[in-house]
Amino acid sequence: MKQTDMQFPEGFLWGGAIAANQVEGAYQENGKGLSIADILGNGIFNPPYEHPGKKNPYHEAIDFYHRYEEDIALFAEMGFKALRTSIAWTRIFPNGDEETPNEAGLQFYDQLFDCMRKYNIEPVVTLSHYEMPLGLVKDYGGWRNRKLIEFFERYAIAVFKRYKDKVKYWIAFNEINVLLHIPFVGGGTVIEEGENKKQIIYQMAHYQHVASALAAKACHEIIPGSQMGCMIAAGPYYPHTCHPDDILTAMEMDRQVYFFTDVMARGYYPTYVKRWFKEYDVELDLTAEDEQLLKQHTVDYISFSYYKSRCASADPSGLEMVSGNLAMGVKNPYLKASEWGWQIDPTGLRFTLNQLYDRYQKPLFIVENGFGAVDTVEEDQSIHDDYRISYLRDHMIEAGKAIEDGVELLGFLSWGPIDIVSASTGEMKKRYGYIYVDKDNEGNGTLRRIKKKSFDWYKEVIASNGASL
């Protein structure tokens, strides 16, 4: 542990973040319908999405559905103040277009949120985390159909009414900018050859913006004092050189991400979309009522995932590209990378926090940050994940510096506080947890939970409110 003079605010929400499709398993239990996650075999990037015969890792995940009491007790032992998870939309509306919700699905989340509250852990709930109903894909064409707004609003109202005394913090869509990179996972639609991809993507984005505004409206009406957030996969684009063209390219790449928060945090479409839509030949189905809703029901806070930064170049030909959370980028020669090539940049987190706060002057919330790595279980069952401790420590220090810069930061939720199924690879070997889960990529293992070295480290971080990192 390092003693720091970091002053995290009283009530700072230290904790973790998971997602229903990556932890729960029980993919068809108690009336749950199939979600798009249930047909992903090798993670979100790897079409074809049907993998007949392949054991789908999301079907069992880490069996959180049956083991959540044990897992939440472990989170409570670390002193968690908050836990982010998603509600599996298909537990509540199996096909997505039913008139009435599935009572067994509602009961599961009653029990889950009661268990969190028993330990004074604040739930932070994502309504849609890459797990929309497959029924809405097959029967309606996914988010390219305006009817999805109605179905999403019905789902949101059902859970707001059910959990109004248990959940205060809500997020509509996980990493809404995933639409730009994987329209199937973000929007439940396959864009065919010859279709105008940008038209479909920005139309789906618009419908989700309206759905987010309707969710914010309903949330505030049903749950007094509730907070509705939006959520993006953040990570700044640095110009690869100081050539003015690289600066412009970096600005444009950042704008592609902040376009979504611009709309949901400010309540109107930014003027730069006029050029975009002209260039992309995009004409939105956007009504005057939509515009009113966006303007009147903006989000209360802006949340985001942060794993890495990337570089942008006006002419990337010949430059090495690196992968990362959703978007590729030009390799930054000053940064190291994880085993999955995600470049490590704690300073970038401080930069992102300042950029977002300067842009919106709304509270911010880090709802994903973590280090995916291959962990080794020693003979004596110990797991020395010092690499994860140093990654997280460095990022928490930068978050603390951003608070000293004047940023209002609600909390820091580590992604995957327990090992879970990776979204991009569908693998278990890319482990994020303070808690190891005995399951391998082939699905073998006892699912036993084992505390890693980082478990006690994070417990001390939380107990000291960041003074000891």
Q: Which residues are catalytic?
A: 368
- Rounded to whole angstroms, the Cα distance separating 201 from 46 reads 19
User: According to the binding rule CB under 6 A, does residue 430 interact with ligand BGP?
Assistant: yes
User: According to the binding rule CB under 6 A, does residue 174 interact with ligand BGP?
Assistant: yes
Q: Which of 177, 325, 332, 414 binds ligand BGP (CB under 6 A)?
A: 325
Q: Which stretch binds ligand BGP (CB under 6 A): 3-11, 147-155, 211-219, 415-423?
A: 415-423
Q: Which of 423, 435, 462, 469 binds ligand BGP (CB under 6 A)?
A: 423
User: According to the binding rule CB under 6 A, does residue 422 interact with ligand BGP?
Assistant: yes
In whole angstroms, how close is the CB of 317 to ligand BGP at the nearest point?
A: 27
User: String of b and e for 431-442 (b: at least 16 CB within 10 Å)?
Assistant: bbbbbbbebebe
User: According to the binding rule CB under 6 A, does residue 419 interact with ligand BGP?
Assistant: no
Please enumerate in sequence order all residues whose Cβ is within 8 A of that of 277, keeping only pairs 6 or more positions apart, or say none.
202, 283, 284
Q: Which of 6, 19, 167, 176 binds ligand BGP (CB under 6 A)?
A: 19
Q: Which stretch binds ligand BGP (CB under 6 A): 116-124, 132-140, 418-426, 453-461?
A: 418-426
Please enumerate in sequence order all residues whose Cβ is within 8 A of that of 29, keeping only pairs 6 or more positions apart, or say none.
65
User: According to the binding rule CB under 6 A, does residue 175 interact with ligand BGP?
Assistant: yes
User: According to the binding rule CB under 6 A, does residue 372 interact with ligand BGP?
Assistant: yes
Amino acid identity at 312: A
Residues 442/397, Cβ–Cβ less than 8 Å: no
Report in angstroms the alpha-carbon separations of 300 from 172, 227, 297, 393: 12, 6, 9, 28
* Count of residues engaged in binding ligand BGP, rule: CB under 6 A: 16
User: According to the binding rule CB under 6 A, does residue 415 interact with ligand BGP?
Assistant: yes
* Nearest residue (CB) to ligand BGP, 128 versus 425: 425
User: According to the binding rule CB under 6 A, does residue 343 interact with ligand BGP?
Assistant: no
- Conformational region of residue 460, where left means phi above 0, alpha means psi within -120 to 50, and beta covers everything else: alpha
Alpha carbon 133 to chain centroid distance? 18
For 290, the 3-state DSSP assignment is helix
User: According to the binding rule CB under 6 A, does residue 305 interact with ligand BGP?
Assistant: yes
For 238-254, give the DSSP string.
EESSS-HHHHHHHHHHH
- Token pair belonging to 319: 């430059």
Q: Which stretch binds ligand BGP (CB under 6 A): 92-100, 274-282, 400-408, 416-424?
A: 416-424
Helices (H) and strands (E) counted in the chain, each on its own, are 16, 14
Alpha helices in 41-129 (DSSP H): 57-60, 64-78, 89-92, 103-118
User: According to the binding rule CB under 6 A, does residue 227 interact with ligand BGP?
Assistant: no
User: According to the binding rule CB under 6 A, does residue 86 interact with ligand BGP?
Assistant: no
Residues 155/173, Cβ–Cβ less than 8 Å: no
Adjacent-strand bridge partners of 411 = 13
Q: Which stretch binds ligand BGP (CB under 6 A): 2-10, 180-188, 272-280, 423-431?
A: 423-431
Residues 163/109, Cβ–Cβ less than 8 Å: yes
User: According to the binding rule CB under 6 A, does residue 128 interact with ligand BGP?
Assistant: no
Q: Which stretch binds ligand BGP (CB under 6 A): 282-290, 331-339, 391-399, 419-427?
A: 419-427
Q: Under rule CB under 6 A, which residues in 233-292 are in contact with ligand BGP?
A: 233
Instruction: Give the interface with ligand BGP as residue ranges (CB under 6 A).
Output: 19, 22, 174-175, 233, 305, 325-326, 368, 372, 415, 422-425, 430
